[in-house]
Amino acid sequence: AQSVTQLGSHVSVSEGALVLLRCNYSSSVPPYLFWYVQYPNQGLQLLLKYTTGATLVKGINGFEAEFKKSETSFHLTKPSAHMSDAAEYFCAVSEGHTGFQKLVFGTGTRLLVSP
């Protein structure tokens, strides 16, 4: 079965600093990978996704992630943190590529941004 590991349940950065949220996955087939963001008491919003093709994926709000097959990683980065980036972030891997697509989620990383 596929699985996702997010290192660090909490990450703290200062406003303007680099954001790095780590995600490693296990999969027996080429994965589809996703990053979602969740603000308090809200649903999850898709930040970006990797399916095939270019391994560096750009998403919304200045975030990007790089798929590294050799490291089984899909880390999320943003060059300069903003106060509005404070939220919980979830990495997910897909167990299906066409039609039905069951996602397996990591346990999440809460990003704290200080002034």
Partner 1 sequence: DGGITQSPKYLFRKEGQNVTLSCEQNLNHDAMYWYRQDPGQGLRLIYYSQIVNDFQKGDIAEGYSVSREKKESFPLTVTSAQKNPTAFYLCASNPAGGGYTFGSGTRLTVV
The residues of the shown chain that bind partner 1, judged by CB under 8 A, are: 9, 34, 36, 41-46, 49, 51, 90, 97-103, 105-108
CB-based burial of residue 60 (10 Å sphere; 0-12 exposed, 13-18 middle, 19+ buried)? exposed
Rounded to a whole number of angstroms, the minimum distance from the CB of residue 102 to partner 1 is 7
CB of 4 to partner 1, least distance (A): 8
74 SS3 class: strand
Name the residue nearer to partner 1 (CB basis): 17 or 104.
104
User: What minimum distance in Å lies between the beta carbon of 107 and partner 1?
Assistant: 4
**How big is the chain by its Cα radius of gyration, in Å?**
14
Is the CB of residue 93 less than 8 Å from the CB of residue 104? yes
5 vs 15, beta carbon nearer partner 1: 5
Let me know: does 47 contact 37? Beta carbons within 8 Å: yes
Least distance in Å: CB of 31 to partner 1? Answer: 13
Specify the residue, 34 or 67, whose C-beta has the smaller distance to partner 1.
34
CA–CA gap between residue 86 and residue 36 (Å, rounded): 13
